[in-house]
Amino acid sequence: MEPSNIYGDRIALDPARARFDYIVVGAGSAGCIVAARLSENPAIRVLLVEAGGSDRSPMISMPAALPFTYQSKKLGWGYESGPEPELGGRMIDEKRGRVIGGTSSINAMIFNRGNPMDFDGWAEGGLPGWDYAHCLPYFRKMETFADGANEWRGGDGPMFISRCKAEHKLFDVFLRSGEQAGHEVASDHNGYRQEGVHIAQAFVHKGLRWTSARGYLHPVRDRENLEVLSRAHVNKVVIENGAATGIEISKGGNTRTVTCNREIILCAGAFNSPQLLMLSGIGDADDLRKHGIALKAHVPAVGRNLENHPGVNLQYATRYEDSLVSQLNLFGQAKLAVDWAVRKKGLGASNFFEAGAFLRTRPDVAFPNMQFEFLPLTRQVKNGKLVAIPGFQFWMDLSRPESRGAVTLRSADPAAPPSIVFNHLDSPQDVQDFIDGVRLARDMIHQPIWDKYRGTELTPGADVRTDADVERFVRANLGTSYHPSGTCRMGADDEAVVDAEARVKAVRRIRVVDASIMPRIVTANLSAAIMMMAEKISDSILGKPALAPSNAPYYRAPDKSAREQISSIKQR
């Protein structure tokens, strides 16, 4: 059942309800937080608009149902990127949530903040208030970590973070292989030290997927000053005399304009936020002219600087009884469903991505440029369906890619998907990092502890040995971790779309708060950093003083030890 204030047409029927101070577009990882925080002040009226519908579904709530949420056409936008020029013109699925909770309602629930040096890099680029010392207090504010609070972790925030149980034996084999290969085991990769192999952490609490909607929006759904309009498509931001005054929405075949007194806040994501700006007349003048859109502000950078984490799978066969697949036969699936339905425990409470690593493929990077996620099974597409088979796999993606793409308009029709092209592997360094990453993964997989379990290498395959072989494999099989960012970049320079407080520079009374404003993609899954940004910018909107900066230290690898370790791997 929908919460009482997720309504149909009340703002159309009751003009008194249509007067808002802030309109937040997109009820995803950032939008739920911004709407909840702004509406803490009862004198502020907030409208939160979401294109999708309710998140009250067992498929969303059960962590193990992740494959079904990813594949659901009802819950996603159905976007594809491409044709990708460096991948033979291939198209690549890009999963984005179209539902209350946004992508936090369909993603893999992996909780990774990013490396502290990510945020220090933002500060060095001209955003001093976004260094790690100023971001860490907001990471702590947003979370309740299952292991308790300390100088790096929070203990009373709305987002509950658990440490994965990782009970299957192959998770321990993965960790031990990392140690045998010379890598450290990070006791908390979201604390002092990110680099190394680790047991994963997840947005899972008491067996439930813990989304931004569950953490922030549902507890405040009865606030009189907060309205949530679901299944409503925002066509554009209305701009008059250089300032945003409202939004045009379509719902149930009807179109109308809703106005606001203070600001429009776009939290629609790295694809839809730049698309909305362009549909509203904010973008490159020549591109907008082609689509017959009246220019409001010439901002060529809108939609550019698109980043992602491209990746590939390394898959190995193993005996049936040694793989998690042995617990997912018909009996195991029934047991999983019953155990989760009754107790919210067992495999149904797992996202399966319960171990991973942040590692470096070369010595001239200051911190990890490759992320690994380990699964004690393999998944392949057979007859058009994703099926699990006995084995294990390493998903590996580039955490620090150099290639850049763009989001542009296909047409002036707000219902048309934007054009998304990442230009994956446009940079020769990205290609080399993948080649070295495959070597790094194989080095771990060929450690002695795997000898008992390791079967045939399924992908890339034993015949893929040379750099040229690996490059061909990567180009043919490259996918992504669904981490788009950077298309409305935040910065102090003239090319940045928004300033340090997320305000669009060219037009008054409009902000963007989502992954699109990241100056550089973080070395991690994006959800945690997006939520931190939403908390921090909400304080700024409300005029609150920023939380006091932290002095918690963080790990910096000695250059010599890193160089020696990587050199050793390349010689094997």
d(CA 37, CA 103): 20
Is residue 12 within 8 Å of residue 258, measured between CB atoms?
A: no
User: Is 483 one of the annotated active-site residues of the chain?
Assistant: yes
d(CA 310, CA 396): 8
**CA dist 35 to 41, 226, 256, Å?**
11, 8, 21
SS3 69: helix
Report residue 158: phi and psi, to 5°: -70, -25
Two tokens at 422? 């990442």
Whole-angstrom Cα distance, residue 238 to residue 245? 6
Give the residue from 112, 243, 295, 302 showing the smallest Cα distance to 508.
Answer: 243
Measured CA to CA, the distance from residue 261 to residue 254 in angstroms comes to: 23
Cis amide leading into 460 (omega within 30): yes
What is the spatial distance between Cα 153 and Cα 158, in angstroms, rounded to a whole number?
13
Q: Is 382 exposed, middle or buried (0-12, 13-18, 19+ CB in 10 A)?
A: exposed
C-alpha to C-alpha distance for 392 and 26, rounded to whole angstroms: 37
SS3 content of the chain, % helix, strand, coil (to 5): 30, 25, 40
User: Closest Cα partner for 79 from 98, 51, 55, 101?
Assistant: 98
Report d(CA 464, CA 223) in Å as an integer.
59
| Run of H or E including 571 | helix 559-571
- Running DSSP on this structure, what letter comes out for residue 7? E
Contact assessment for residue 149 and residue 552, using Cβ atoms and an 8 Å cutoff: no
Structure token pair of residue 29: 């990882």
What are phi and psi for residue 541, nearest 5 degrees?
Answer: -60, -40
Q: In one letter, which amino acid is 219?
A: P
- Quickly list DSSP for 25-59: E--STTHHHHHHHHTTSTT--EEEE-SSB----HH
Q: Which of 205, 218, 309, 483 is catalytic?
A: 483
366 with 556: CB under 8 angstroms?
yes
Residues forming the active site = 483
